[in-house]
Structure 1
């Protein structure tokens, strides 16, 4: 459970009510964007963000009659369900209002045999304009837009361990990411050095992280664990590129870059795919928060809480970068919400050949007789292999 501090005059921010973005919520019925507090209930605290959460506006000094008129729930304070604006199911609000799942149970899970708290929350958001991420809650008049939403420990689940982010104190607001200006580049990634002459190698791209409040210790552990697994299968550290958070805060591994520039990420993957004989195996590990259309969220560089176009990596863009890839094999590990969107698109694509590969991660046969030794695996399949001149020039 997450809530803002009980201080008068908290708001989701005028920017969120005016611009089209990830956290664009419906304007409150009583015509004001300011509320006394904001309450967020997360029915799936162990899942990566991108799943539905329930968001309430909390207002004090509101009469029970007035609260009922606002289609709210009166519990000493008035709770009104916040929905995203401009969505198809918005008119269903009164049919499936918050009273259907709060009622007498008050999120206690009901009596014996009654539905659990998670099921009650699912009933609340089914068919509505679902909210999938934590909102940016700021105090009225706060020009620094400091996030006031805090996790409150409850019996339902413990608060997650946040990952310290040292770079979030300096948002990238002056950088013109859509223009080719030298000062916009926060990182140096010499992609052209990834492909060597007369050599083919195994390559990997790891992608994770959006905002500090939804980037946990386990996300860093996921990346480190996957990185170690790749190394154990012969992937060289120079060929594993990790894009994480705003400053690449992962001290335990090498080759970490910030996930602030979509162009850098896309250009790197496109280059590896387009270069003849560059990649034998290309592995992608995707562990970012995801919208319900499958789009991955890159780091919120300007810290405004809105997933701008330059901060989203859509399924269409990913498929474009991988279309006709010249790697011998491309393996996607999709450890995030709404992975079915990408899977469905891949199955129906004519530009991405999907076959059952009876090989290891490095391309070695799984049923070799006799089994390959560790020396044979390293020499013939893992890491990099030298190519004959004739094959290198073969189209």
Structure 2
């Protein structure tokens, strides 16, 4: 009996939960010890050029952090004895550095295949957010915490021993590009001769950083509730406050346009009111919000409201501004903006863009404002409707789909305001595209992530909120510096030499306010001849020859119509 009592006493001393607080959280001292050890680990790693837990500039800034608040700290709730937790990421799950990479494949529909195995389970999850004021995604530090691990075993796994038989294991994204991959392109790197030409290869590119807060679930919990919470620690950044729900009820069930059930109680987007015959209008589509309730903050609603107010001041009608924000339970901005649709309606977003772009003379200025979380490849995350923590095809909006929806758009000009992280992939594809001759991308050039100001809003949204109806886009853009415009291949720069509603900037004599509102802002009635000629051009089959007599009559009508059309265009332009 005595040996058994001694064994139980030794086990109780080694049990790490002895320091755990009462309730469902770890003690602040324990979490602070983990966070301090993680920061020391980042500083001791000397911030490698590639392959680290963070990009080198952010790693160096975090390693030099001696004054001011540190990163925001997130930790999972303690699980029951014998239970483990798992971290699920929207674009995969975390893995240990140096683990065998997952070779991404594609199925018959072209969607990426997901790993068949399950993510590894640990005792606790620790996440450090170095830039809590930036939009998601941006690089984060994720550590697995294992209990009952001896110092020798912890160090043999290239992990960090923090005492008390606790081991911190750094994690990286498992579904990412191979860090040793070399891609042809410009830049520094060694040269090789291939087929008689010199080919330069880029240095290795590491895209394995974790960019989103994971959804931490208990492996034995069938409900898969979020167990990751922010902790306010002394010396670290305060926890951000999520946007409160507009109603106490749970989020409405996921409803798409291809479903017709009792759960789809909400009226769908009235697309038929967007375009009318013999009328052209200014249209706008706003997509904002977070990926989940935990990462949807009041600043997202503030950015959306600022941009909406700017559009209304520039003459955009309320019924022609379609806003898609978070989920139904978080659309608190509807009090000031009217009808705001949830971002879960991806098909409604794409259908509306297709209607505006494919209809003749429907849109004069088409404005898009994007403030959703973005992955490193530019994919927008709309909303985790099924709450599984993984971005399914209906919950993400890739760049390829966005450019396909705006391809050869019939609008006079398409202005895309990008207020989110990682604008580089969209910039690269737009510059190489020849199918977007009237599209301009306006983005930030300061950092890779969109940051917030002292007032809590986005610096990008606050800057463009000051655009006045008589201001030229080019004049408002150039004097500041941190914003830039990206044009598609063959796109004229004159698209920015107008106001947001399309009014000329340097007309002689200058336009008055009443004339600007009547001729350019809101909606204008178009001559009937524009529609007749446009319909004839769209419906005529160029491969089918006309009879001789009919061809003569059609030629005469077109010649007469072209002369009248030139006159009408001249009047309409001036």
Q: How does 1:335-374 map to 2 (within 5 A)?
A: 335-353=419-437, 354-356=491-493, 357=495, 358-374=497-513
Q: 1:183 to 1:290 in 2, by over 3 A?
A: farther
> Which of 55, 67, 72 is the equivalent residue of 2:159?
72
Across the aligned residues of Structure 1 and Structure 2, the Cα RMSD in angstroms comes to: 2.6
Q: 1:222 to 1:290 in 2, by over 3 A?
A: same
Q: CA deviation at 1:371?
A: 2.7
Q: CA deviation at 1:47?
A: 1.2
Identify the range of structure 1 (74-83 vs 248-257) with the bigger mean alpha-carbon deviation.
248-257
Distance 1:255 1:87 in 2: 39
Larger Rg computed on CA atoms: 2
Contact 1:240-1:255 within 8 A present in 2 as well: no
Q: CA deviation at 1:346?
A: 1.1
Q: CA deviation at 1:300?
A: 0.8
**1:300 maps onto 2:369 in alignment:** no
Distance 1:346 1:12 in 2: 38
Q: How does 1:226-245 map to 2 (within 5 A)?
A: 226-245=307-326
More helix by share: 2
> Which of 140, 149, 154 is the equivalent residue of 1:62?
149
Q: CA deviation at 1:27?
A: 7.4
Hey, what does 2:526 align to over in structure 1? Answer: 387
Q: CA deviation at 1:171?
A: 6.5
Q: How does 1:242-281 map to 2 (within 5 A)?
A: 242-247=323-328, 248-250=331-333, 251-281=335-365
**1:221 maps onto 2:302 in alignment:** yes
Q: CA deviation at 1:310?
A: 1.0
Distance 1:392 1:241 in 2: 26
Hey, what does 1:141 align to over in structure 2? Answer: 220
**1:85 maps onto 2:174 in alignment:** yes
Hey, what does 2:16 align to over in structure 1? Answer: none
Q: How does 1:33-52 map to 2 (within 5 A)?
A: 33-52=120-139
Distance 1:355 1:249 in 2: 40
Q: How does 1:285-296 map to 2 (within 5 A)?
A: 285-296=369-380
Contact 1:23-1:133 within 8 A present in 2 as well: no
Q: Secondary structure at the match of 1:284?
A: strand
Hey, what does 2:417 align to over in structure 1? Answer: 333
**1:129 maps onto 2:208 in alignment:** yes
Q: CA deviation at 1:22?
A: 1.6
Distance 1:319 1:183 in 2: 34
Q: 1:198 to 1:86 in 2, by over 3 A?
A: closer
Contact 1:167-1:246 within 8 A present in 2 as well: no
Contact 2:257-2:348 within 8 A present in 1 as well: no
Contact 1:27-1:33 within 8 A present in 2 as well: no
Q: Secondary structure at the match of 1:169?
A: coil
Structure number with higher relative contact order (C-alpha < 8 Å, ≥ 6 residues apart): 1
Q: CA deviation at 1:164?
A: 1.9
Gaps of 5+ in 2: 1-72, 100-117, 182-204, 438-490, 535-574
Hey, what does 1:103 align to over in structure 2? Answer: none
Q: 1:260 to 1:333 in 2, by over 3 A?
A: same
Q: CA deviation at 1:296?
A: 0.6
Distance 2:223 2:332 in 1: 23
Contact 2:74-2:228 within 8 A present in 1 as well: yes
**1:151 maps onto 2:230 in alignment:** yes
Identify the range of structure 1 (365-374 vs 325-334) with the bigger mean alpha-carbon deviation.
365-374
Q: 1:355 to 1:301 in 2, by over 3 A?
A: same
**1:162 maps onto 2:242 in alignment:** yes
Contact 1:187-1:258 within 8 A present in 2 as well: no
Identify the range of structure 1 (323-332 vs 132-141) with the bigger mean alpha-carbon deviation.
132-141
Distance 1:178 1:66 in 2: 54
Q: 1:91 to 1:198 in 2, by over 3 A?
A: closer
Q: CA deviation at 1:145?
A: 1.7
Distance 2:169 2:249 in 1: 32
Q: 1:344 to 1:183 in 2, by over 3 A?
A: farther
Q: Secondary structure at the match of 1:385?
A: strand
Aligned length: 354
Contact 1:171-1:303 within 8 A present in 2 as well: no
Q: Secondary structure at the match of 2:499?
A: coil
Q: CA deviation at 1:368?
A: 2.2
**1:376 maps onto 2:463 in alignment:** no
Q: 1:373 to 1:10 in 2, by over 3 A?
A: farther
Distance 1:32 1:23 in 2: 9
Distance 2:400 2:263 in 1: 25
Contact 1:208-1:244 within 8 A present in 2 as well: yes
Per-residue CA shift, 1:190-242, capped at 9, x if unaligned?
A: 11211122111100000022211111110110000000000000001000000
Hey, what does 1:3 align to over in structure 2? Answer: 75
Q: How does 1:203-222 map to 2 (within 5 A)?
A: 203-209=283-289, 210-222=291-303
Q: CA deviation at 1:326?
A: 0.4
Distance 1:206 1:39 in 2: 34
Contact 2:356-2:362 within 8 A present in 1 as well: yes
Hey, what does 1:202 align to over in structure 2? Answer: 282
Distance 1:348 1:127 in 2: 24
Distance 1:182 1:239 in 2: 28
Gaps of 5+ in 1: 93-125
Distance 1:47 1:199 in 2: 41
Identify the range of structure 1 (254-263 vs 4-13) with the bigger mean alpha-carbon deviation.
4-13
